[in-house]
Amino acid sequence: MFEDNHIRNSTTRRFVGALRHFEQQGDIGPLVALFTEDAVLFRLDGRGERRGDVRRFWQEYRAQFAEVRTRFLNAVEGADTVEGYEEAGLEWHSEGRLADGRPLDYYGSTFLALDGDLITGLRSYYDTAVFVKMPVVAH
């Protein structure tokens, strides 16, 4: 199992810790504090749009779950991207229960654009099928 102490970048390590804290404790402050005021976030969901309101982005994320725990499986970190920022790619696995009580088990990847101690962008991709409630068909 990947442990986040292998993540070299301190901002990426803080993101992993703040996300886990938010998932388990509901305290959004440390997570929001990691993002710049003009950060752009994207989550592969029904809206399919970029968002600029960091607090709302994470509140919408957490509202989907009754409980969730994310385990980070791998990290790829690089510097000097085209935009001049560092980037980090995180592969993860989340388990728990959706807000309606259905079990949750899915994988995804999140990419961070980093500018020093802050995150300027986040893109998250995952299999959205786990969130679709399938109709019960009577025979």
What is the tens place of the pLDDT at every residue in 14-32? 999 999 999 999 999 999 9
Residue 4 CB: number of other CB atoms within 10 A?
16
Average confidence score pLDDT of the chain: 86
Domains of the chain, each with CATH number or no CATH: 4-129 (3.10.450.50)
* Rounded-to-integer distance, Cα 4 and Cα 127, Å: 23
Per-residue pLDDT at 45 exceeds 80: no
- Mean pLDDT, residues 100-117: 93
Q: At what angle do helices 54-63 and 10-25 cross, to 10 degrees?
A: 50
Q: Which pTM does this prediction carry?
A: 0.85
CA–CA separation, 120 and 99 (whole Å)? 29
Residue 81 vs residue 136, higher pLDDT: 136
